[in-house]
Amino acid sequence: MKIFKDKHTLQREILKTKGISFIPTMGGLHKGHISLIKESKKSKFKTLVSIFVNPKQFNKKSDFRSYPRNTKKDIKILKKLRINYLYIPTSKDIYGFKTKNKVFLDKSSKKLCGKFRKGHFEGVLNVVNRFLEIIKPKYIYLGKKDYQQLYLIKKHIEKNKIKSKIIECKTIRENSGIACSSRNSNLNKNQMKIASDIFNYFTILKKELKKNYNLFNINRIKKDLINLGANKIDYIENYNLKSFQKIKKPNKKFNLFFAYYIKNIRLIDNI
């Protein structure tokens, strides 16, 4: 595994390759990231992982500061997985150049997380756009847990006619059902239990909604989540995955999208 800390050295190296399979991360690697890397290694291209905690996608400085970081541990994991390249840039390396492509922000960025985290998706698309211009990967591997993010990156790539192709990968979960997330490391045992109970609640609710959609009562659901231990709920919505529109008819295929807080830790998922 070769480690790069500046884009020019990285670019000189990857120019020799036939193509790159790219996994962008903010570190705090977990089973979800490992799954993406294993999928990437099935391709005929070399695997490149980035670790960069992007300041522009945090709308609270405290959230940016408290984001889990353990680069030494991450490097150990990546060495065991035998990836080809690791890119750990500085902010200057990422933001110190003018991009060719303009960031395209689809109107769906104002829904769900976009409604509650002002500037978040602008920050995400800005950094992804820059990574794509630096690396020019054949494939970029993204998980479905952050489905809205995945959808917006796809729209940006389509709009700018970027040649990189997104490979959508399933959400990887802990044994408790909780979606793997770097933020899970900030939860204590009791909080993990609350998150697991909430996941189980939504799993049962979705089955019930498929039989009787009239059971979708936001106020009742919010009350139930508070009783289970959530401290604040941002949203609970049903969306069609293909169109990424709110469902209007109960017979359509849908996922439940939800975001909530346990103390000051924000968790999102869709099932």
User: Hey, which residues are catalytic here?
Assistant: 33
User: How far apart, in whole angstroms, are the C-alpha atoms of residue 225 and residue 248?
Assistant: 24
> 221: which 2 tokens?
């659901």
Residue 14 CA, chain-centre distance (Å), reads: 25
* Residue 133 · residue 100 · CB < 8 Å: yes
Q: What angle, rounded to 10 degrees, do the helices at 120-135 and 7-14 form?
A: 50
Could you tell me which of 207, 148, 204, 199 has the C-alpha nearest to residue 178?
Answer: 199
Q: Could you tell me which of 89, 85, 3 has the C-alpha nearest to residue 45?
A: 85
Q: Which of helix, strand or coil describes residue 256?
A: strand
Distance CA 181, CA 267 (A): 8
**Nearest Cα residue to 147 out of 266, 244, 237:** 244
* Residues β-bridged to residue 140: 22, 166
Helix, strand, coil percentages in the chain from 3-state DSSP, rounded to 5: 45, 20, 35
